[in-house]
Structure 1
C-alpha cells in the first residue's frame, strides 16, 4: 500500500473515533483544498463591481447581470458608416459656418435606453427635437453648455486663443437660442446628406427645449442609438449628441443591417462609369417594318421563287423602327445619296417631341 493510501486510511479511521463529526469535515476538506477558489476581487469583477467599492456593493450582482442583458440591442453596421460620413461632412460645413478651424470627431456609437440617456445628460443643455419626414418619426440632438457658449463666442466675433466664458445658473437668452438653432439646422442638413447614398431622407427642425422632460420623443424604456460627437475650435469646443430611437430607424432597418466594405454603400463608381460607357457604345440592330400582313401557313409553304408581295402602304406612308419587339420610332422611307434611308418623325413611347436625327439603313 502506498503512502497516500495509508494516509487516507488513517484519516478515515480517525473519523470513526471522532464522536462530534468535526474530524470528518476536516478530512474531507483536505483533498478539496487544491481546487481553484475565486477571491473577492475576482468575484466583484465577474459581477460587474468596480474594485469592490461600497457604492457598488449596494446593488445586487444578479440585478446587474439581468439589466446588462436587457440593453443588448441589434448592431447596425451601416449606421456607423453613416456617422463616419457625417463627421467628414460636418468638418467642412462647420468651417464654412464659423469661418474658423473646426475639427469634428466621433467618440463612440452605443445602444441604450432612452430614459437612461436623458437621466445622464448634464444640465444645462439644449435639446433639439427634429423629425424625419419620410420615416414619420423623431430624433433628438443634445448640445452641451460648453458647445453653446463656444458657438456663440465664435459667431459673435470672440478672439481666438481664449476659452469661451460660461455663466452658469441663468437661462439661455434669445440670441443664444437663435445662434444655436442655426448650428442645429446645419448639422441636420449634413445628417440628411450622410444618408443620401443609402436612402433619401430629410430631417426637419421642430423645436428647441432646455428641459429634458419636454424632449421625450419616445418611451423611456425604448431602445435608441446614441452617437457622441466632439467639436473642437482651437481652444474652444464642446460635445454634440445625436439620439435616434430604433423605432425611427425601423423603415430602413434592412438597409442598416447590411455590411459593405469601405464607405461605398454597396456602389462602385468605377464600374458604374465603365458600364455606362459600354452601354453608349453598344451596337443595336433596328428593323424597319414597311408592312405587316397576316397569312396562312399553307400559303407561306406554297411560296416559290418569283412570287411577289403587294404592300398595302404607299410610298409616303409612315413606317416603324423596332428593336426586337419594342417599337422605338416612326418615320418615312427615302433616299440619301445612293442609300435607302429612314427619316425619324416621331419618338414612340416617350413624352417629348420629335428627333432631328437621321438614321440610315442599307438595303
Structure 2
C-alpha cells in the first residue's frame, strides 16, 4: 500500500523520525502581540456574516441523512451509514480548492430560492456505488483514475443524484417547500462556478459509508441563497406533530384550570409602626384604626377584585363591587413595610346596606 494514499509526505517523515528516535523540529507559532490593544479584523471573514447557529438548517440536514439512508437501501439493496458532519462556513474558493479532482459536480436550481446550488460526489463514493451496483467486492483501496466518467457510470450517477435530490427536497418540505431542477454536471470546479470566488457558501458534508469504505457528498449553498430565510433557519423548529401535542396539552390545561384551587385574601387594614412601639405593646392596649368602606381582595399578592365586607347568613362574607383587570406582570414585586395586623370582628348585614356597624377592637 502506498504511503501517499492516506498520509502526506510530512506525516510519513514524522512517523519514521519517531521510530528511529530522531527528534523532529517543531515549529512554535507565537501569538502576535498588539501593544496598543487593537487587533486587526477581517471584514470578509465568514464569522462576520453568519453568527448564529442555524438550528433549523441542522435539523433539515439530519432529516436529509435519514431519508437518504432509506433511499440508498432501496436503490442499492445494501445498508449505508449516513452521517452529517459539521457545517462549514467558508468562501467558495476555499471550498473548490479542497475538492478532489475529478469530482462529480452537479449544478441544481432550488426554486423559489435564488441562485444555484452544488451537489458534489467525490470520486471514491462514485466508484464505490458503481462497484456495489454491478456486484463487485468493496475494495479497501479504490484507485481514482483521472478520466471522464463513462456513459454507464454517468447513468448510475444520474439515478443516484435523482434519489438524492428527492430526499433533499422532502427534507425541506416541513420548513420551506422547494422544488429542484437539475441543470448540468461538470468534473472540474472551474466550469461549476455557482457564485464568486470570494462569496460565502454554506457547505454540508454528508459521510456515506458501506462497511469500512465510504465517501463524501458535499451540498454547497451560496449564503445569498439562504439569507432571506436566515430568521427561519436560526430559530428552533417545531414540526406539526409537536405542535399537535402542544395544542392538545393546552386544551387539557384550559379545561382543568377552572377547577384549580386558589386562596383569596382580603386584608382589611394595616398599621405602620416601629419595632420599639411593637415591643411596647401589652395586653389590653387599644390601637386606633380606620376601616375602609371597601377592601381589595388579592390572589398571590395580585389584586383581583374590590368588595364590601360584613356578614351573611351568620358567616363573614364579601360583597363584590368591582373586578380588577390587572395583569400579573404589571404588579410590582415590592415587599410591604413591617406592619402589625389587627383582628377585627365585623357585624354588617349585607342584606341592608344602611345597617350600622358594630366593632369590637382588641
Q: TM-score range by the shorter chain?
A: 0.5 to 0.7
Whether 2:234 is the aligned partner of 1:249: answer no
Aligned residue for 1:71? 46
Which 5+ residue runs of structure 1 have no aligned equivalent? 1-39, 49-63, 278-363
Map 1:25-174; keep pairs closer than 5 Å: 44-47=29-32, 66-67=41-42, 70-72=45-47, 73-74=49-50, 75=52, 76-159=54-137, 162-163=139-140, 165-174=142-151
Map 1:159-238; keep pairs closer than 5 Å: 159=137, 162-163=139-140, 165-238=142-215
Write the distance in 1 (CA, Å) between the matches of 2:228 and 2:85: 26
Write the distance in 1 (CA, Å) between the matches of 2:241 and 2:202: 23
Contact in 2 for aligned 1:226/1:241 (Cα 8 Å): yes
User: Structure 1, residues 66-99: CA drift from partner, whole Å, max 9, x if none?
Assistant: 4596121313221111111111111111111111
Look up the SS of the partner of 2:177 in the other structure.
coil
Write the distance in 1 (CA, Å) between the matches of 2:243 and 2:199: 37
Write the distance in 2 (CA, Å) between the matches of 1:265 and 1:226: 28
1:200 is displaced (CA, Å) by 0.9
Map 1:264-275; keep pairs closer than 5 Å: 264=239, 267-272=242-247
Write the distance in 1 (CA, Å) between the matches of 2:72 and 2:251: 36
Contact in 1 for aligned 2:69/2:80 (Cα 8 Å): yes
Look up the SS of the partner of 1:108 in the other structure.
coil
1:273 is displaced (CA, Å) by 6.1
TM-score normalised by L of structure 1: 0.55
Cα 1:272–1:184 change in 2 (3 A) is: farther
How many residues align structurally?
220
Contact in 2 for aligned 1:113/1:222 (Cα 8 Å): yes
Map 1:336-351; keep pairs closer than 5 Å: none
Write the distance in 1 (CA, Å) between the matches of 2:227 and 2:144: 41
1:266 is displaced (CA, Å) by 9.6
Cα 1:68–1:211 change in 2 (3 A) is: same
Contact in 1 for aligned 2:76/2:132 (Cα 8 Å): yes
1:168 is displaced (CA, Å) by 1.1
Write the distance in 2 (CA, Å) between the matches of 1:211 and 1:275: 55
Which 5+ residue runs of structure 2 have no aligned equivalent? 1-25, 34-38, 253-362
Write the distance in 1 (CA, Å) between the matches of 2:206 and 2:157: 16
1:276 is displaced (CA, Å) by 9.9
More helix by share: 1
Write the distance in 2 (CA, Å) between the matches of 1:213 and 1:276: 58
1:253 is displaced (CA, Å) by 2.1
Cα 1:146–1:270 change in 2 (3 A) is: same
Aligned residue for 2:355? none
Contact in 2 for aligned 1:231/1:238 (Cα 8 Å): yes
1:170 is displaced (CA, Å) by 2.0
Look up the SS of the partner of 2:129 in the other structure.
helix
Aligned residue for 1:25? none
